[in-house]
Structure 1
Amino acid sequence: MHHIMIICPEASELIYAEKWLSRNGFHVNVSHSVSQANKYYELSDFDLILLDTSSLEPLEIDNTLKHPCIVFDDKASLSTAVNLMAKGALYYLSLPSTADQILNHVIDALERPKTLSLNSAQSQNKEDVILFPLSPEAEESRKLGSPESGIIGQSPKMQSLFKDIRKVAPTDVTVLVRGESGTGKELVAKALHNLSSRHAEPLISVNCAAIPENLIESELFGHEKGAFTGAASARDGLVIAADNGTLFLDEIGELPLEAQARLLRVLQEGEIRRVGAVQSTKVNIRLVTATHRNLKEMVRKGQFREDLYYRLYVMELILPPLRDRGDDLSLIAKTLLRATCEKYSTHQYEYSKAFDKAIRSHSWPGNVRELENAIERAVILSPNSHLEPQNLKLESLTESKPSNETTGDNSPSFSGTTLDDYLKHFVLSHQQELTETEIAQSLGISRKSLWERRQKLGIPKKVTADK
């Protein structure tokens, strides 16, 4: 039986975890402070500590992180997460958290291998050779294509991708993942991490488009006290948090040129320098990046460093869009339907032929992300008896597959060859009937990304009809 210590104030939401965990066979003790826990127990005797950081002093937190620990915070922040995980926290979760979230993270933390052995792997063929014991996540990732792995797909294109992932993952080679927004590029990064020798170390995921340009260098590389206005204290960045693990940079094409230069140094020298620092710090990371943009074209236009491009373009994995994956579309939709019904505690709807036909008739410019949103709408709006295809709310979003035919309305036909061409066409075709938020959701991107692409591609906010 696993022994777990919960350290939290009496009013903490974490207090309820004692009941949930006890019901699942764990032996649980509760202390209302670190000093109380140390007074009555030896923390080293526990397999895992659940720690609510509310009202705790930094020294108390640091001393507790010497033991296997999951940290909870009712005022969760990115900077705190980076700091605590760099100091040894296995996970950093916000409060309140659901019983399932806590239980899943507890099980994962308890089942993490304590040590790595290079002689423990047994494999049947060369492409599946992984020279280290596998975590539960890694075991699931080996079933690539199944719902358990997170990446669903049986189409030839996806099977080819899975084969490449299995070959590339055990190496430390830098990987560039390309694909449209919403295709699941982060899932590929997770599979690469889980099947690598670094799977027991952190996977730090960063969306470069989501961080303001003036903060991204500090977020990635850290800063010294006083390095800029508001830098009240020194702190490490996300690169340090990923030390010995994997750093996944999504939307790498949005990284400013100054930050690109710093990232190049990480790849070339294996070291980083905080903003405002003189000394460098050694780091050991495996870098996985992703983009839906044409980096070669960006290099040609001077928007992306050529030397960094060739450092990133060591191994390329391409995720096909959902519209090119054949029967995978139905397979993914069925899995999402089941998950959505569980999420909203409804009965399991039958996946009917009419519902499948409606899904297959759409081109899904937002890919899996758009499909997930549509299925959520259908589950929420449909009667208890059956799913109604019209509740997918795809009528105004339905886009025929690219062709050179002129549409019946005044929307421009799509005849481009790049993702930027398609995005421009989609926005011009739908901005009269959809809001900016709805357009961004349909494309599987944020409103900020949509605004940036309008600026770069010169897409006018309104289209005036020709007279």
Structure 2
Amino acid sequence: MHSIMIICPDHSLLKAAEKWLSRYGFQVNTSHTLEQANHYYELSEFHLLLVDQASLSQQENSQSQLPETPKHIILDARPSLTTGVNAMAQGAIYYLPLPTDSETLLKHVVNAIDQSDQTSNFVDNTPKNTPTPPTQEGTIELGTPGSGIIGQSPLMQDLFSDMRKIAGTDVTVLIRGESGTGKELVAKALHNLSQRHAHPIVSVNCAAIPENLIESELFGHEKGAFTGANTSHDGLIYAADKGTLFLDEIGELPLEAQARLLRVLQEGEIRKVGSTHSTKVNIRLITATHRHLVDMIRKGLFREDLYYRLYVMELLLPPLRDRGDDLSVLAEVLLKKACQKHHKAPYHYSKAFDKAIRGHHWPGNVRELENAIERAVILSPAERIEAANLKLANQQGATNRSNHSNNTQTSFATPPTGTTLDDYLKYFVLTHQHTKTETELAHCLGISRKSLWERRQKLGIAKK
């Protein structure tokens, strides 16, 4: 039986989790504060800690006093990106908002305990911004599950060769590739192979932060710098000091923030919003994008001087459809992972299932493959995995297609047949994303960039 310690104030929304976690078979104890928990219990004997951020806020530096083992999940009734980054940088495996529904929390509890029980996973499930465990170059064999990236195709071997040469340096790296090809996994592998592996890697999705907050979140701000700035905070770049900063979707960074980032690269220092003095930082910058930055420069949407600072080394990630037999190897590993996640007996990876996998174009790459296999695992009977349950676009109406139509890719930018707002949003984004930035798309739709990013994830709208 797995044991869990819940640390939360008496009025906390987290307190209700004690009863239903017990019903699921966990042994649960509770304490009001970390000090009380340490006084009455040996925390290292628990499999997991669930901690309300409010119980930590009452004591200065109590977050840093949390034990390295067991793993812990931080929950916060007033969630913020800064608090989340700090929590995970100091060892939290997940950072969740309160209230969180029981199904979501149970999933994260099970995942956290599974990670403690298992020694390897294909996909890197560690939260963004968690300090990477110490690793020495040569102990990570790129292309194997232990490295977080699987692949033995010639294209991937060329990529791994470049990564090994780059990893030992501090040069800035620009990673380009389609959505879902694993750009963040490559960034983490570079960090793990570098001399900075003992320090944190901080990952930031530039498209997921509202435009009016991105400078504050990246560079920090002083108390009173703007309305709502009730306290001072250091920002995500400072959190990556001595480690690696990974900026995903760098093409979505506003021009004002681009100018500030250029100064970081040129001078090695940051200045908080509202501050009059600068602070030195030592970071290794890795960026990623699916956009053509040169085209954005011509349109005045990206700074040319910043581009040449970023374009020191470039890594091009091949799309999944060009990786040959890697597709089958990945699918088989992801099938085992999905079975473990959903507590199902391992399925046999059949020829019929592999034929369906190999017959799809995979515009969403590895992310789409992982989601499709998870669907199949959930929907298939216990005795066998069924290819039809992948629910792939090219399987719809297959019995009515001619041989010619079987070789034609479905156009995702056809006029919507549905009447919902989601149908229109998907149609509009896929039709205009080649000519508009995320900011422009969001403005046309009357929503924020963060809302657009969230709807992309929800509706599975891949970026081109």
* TM superposition score normalised by structure 2: 0.73
8 Å CA contact 2:56, 2:63 repeated in 1 = no
Aligned residue in 1 for 2:296:
298
Count matched residues. 399
| Counterpart-to-counterpart distance in 2, 1:352 and 1:175 | 40
Partner AA of 1:369 in structure 2: R
1:72-111 correspondence to structure 2 within 5 Å:
72-75=73-76, 76-84=79-87, 89-91=90-92, 93-94=94-95, 96=105, 97-98=108-109, 100-102=111-113, 104=115
1:368 paired to 2:366? yes
1:331 is aligned to: 329
SS of the aligned residue for 1:370 comes to: helix
Q: 1:430 to 1:206 in 2, by over 3 A?
A: farther
Q: Counterpart of 2:375 in 1: which secondary structure? A: helix
What is the alpha-carbon distance in structure 1 between the residues aligned to residue 283 and residue 135 of structure 2? 20
Alpha-carbon distance between aligned partners in 2 of 1:277 and 1:322, rounded to the nearest angstrom: 46
Contact (CA 8 Å) 1:248, 1:288: kept in 2 or not?
Answer: yes
Q: Is the contact made by 1:49 and 1:67 (CA closer than 8 Å) also made in structure 2?
A: no
Partner residue of 1:238?
236
Judged with a 3 Å threshold, the aligned counterparts in structure 2 of structure 1 residues 50 and 352 are, in CA distance, closer, same or farther, namely closer
Deviation at 1:297, TM superposition (A): 1.3
Change (3 A) 1:100 1:433: closer
- What does residue 121 of structure 1 align with? none
In structure 2, do the counterparts of structure 1 residues 358 and 349 end up closer, same or farther at CA, with 3 Å as the change threshold? same
Alpha-carbon distance change, 293 to 352 in structure 1, aligned in 2, over 3 angstroms = same
Structure 1, residues 258-317: CA drift from partner, whole Å, max 9, x if none? 010011011111111111211111111110000011111111221110010000000111
What root-mean-square deviation, in Å, do the aligned CA atoms of Structure 1 and Structure 2 show?
Answer: 4.3
**Alignment CA distance shift 1:376-1:430 (3 Å):** farther
Alignment CA distance shift 1:383-1:430 (3 Å): farther
1:358 and 1:7, CA in 2 relative to 1: closer, same or farther beyond 3 A? closer
Alignment of 1:242-321 (within 5 A): 242-321=240-319
Q: Following the alignment from structure 1 to structure 2, what is the Cα–Cα distance between the partners of residues 209 and 223?
A: 20
Q: Counterpart in 1 of 2:461?
A: none
Find the aligned partners of 2:165 and 2:243 in 1 and give their Cα distance: 18
Question: Is residue 2:428 matched to residue 1:427?
Answer: no
* Higher mean displacement: 218-227 or 95-104: 95-104
Q: By how many angstroms is 1:61 displaced?
A: 4.2
Q: Does 1:208 align with 2:206?
A: yes
Is 1:348 matched with 2:359? Answer: no
- What's the TM-score once normalised by structure 1's chain length? 0.72
Quickly say closer, same or farther: Cα 1:107–1:218, change in 2 above 3 A: farther
- Do the aligned residues in 2 keep the contact of 1:208 with 1:251 (CA within 8 Å)? yes
Residue matched to 1:60: 59
Q: Which amino acid aligns with 2:112?
A: Q
1:217 maps to what in 2?
Answer: 215
Aligned to 2:376: 378
Q: Which has the larger radius of gyration?
A: 1
Indicate the SS of the match to 2:160.
Answer: helix
Shift in Å at residue 390 of structure 1? 1.8
Cα distance in 2, alignment partners of residues 216 and 275 from structure 1: 11
In the TM superposition, residue 81 of structure 1 has moved relative to its aligned partner by: 2.3
- 5+ residue gaps, structure 2, are 22-26, 97-104, 120-131, 397-403, 446-464
SS in 2 for 1:288: strand
Residues 428 and 12 of structure 1, relative CA distance in 2, 3 Å threshold: closer
Is the contact made by 1:221 and 1:240 (CA closer than 8 Å) also made in structure 2? yes
Judging changes above 3 Å, is the alpha-carbon distance between structure 1 residues 346 and 162 closer, same or farther for their aligned structure 2 residues? same
Q: Tell me the equivalent position of 2:33.
A: 33
1:226-282 CA deviation, whole Å, 9 max, x = no partner?
222222222121111111111100010111100100110111111111112111111
Structure 1 residues 64 and 304: CA distance shift in structure 2, 3 A: closer
Q: CA deviation at 1:209?
A: 0.9
Residue 59 of structure 1 deviates from its aligned partner by 6.3
Q: Which amino acid aligns with 2:392?
A: L
User: 1:363 corresponds to which letter in structure 2?
Assistant: H
When residues 379 and 100 of structure 1 are mapped into structure 2, their CA distance, relative to the original with a 3 A threshold, is: closer
| C-alpha distance in 2 between matches for 1:35 and 1:333 | 46
Give the CA deviation at 1:379: 1.5
1:313–1:137 distance in 2 versus 1, CA, 3 Å: same
Identity %: 58
Contact 2:32/2:55 (<8 A) preserved: no
Question: 2:153–2:325: 8 Å Cα contact kept in structure 1?
Answer: yes
Q: Is the CA contact (8 Å cut-off) linking 1:7 and 1:34 kept in structure 2?
A: no
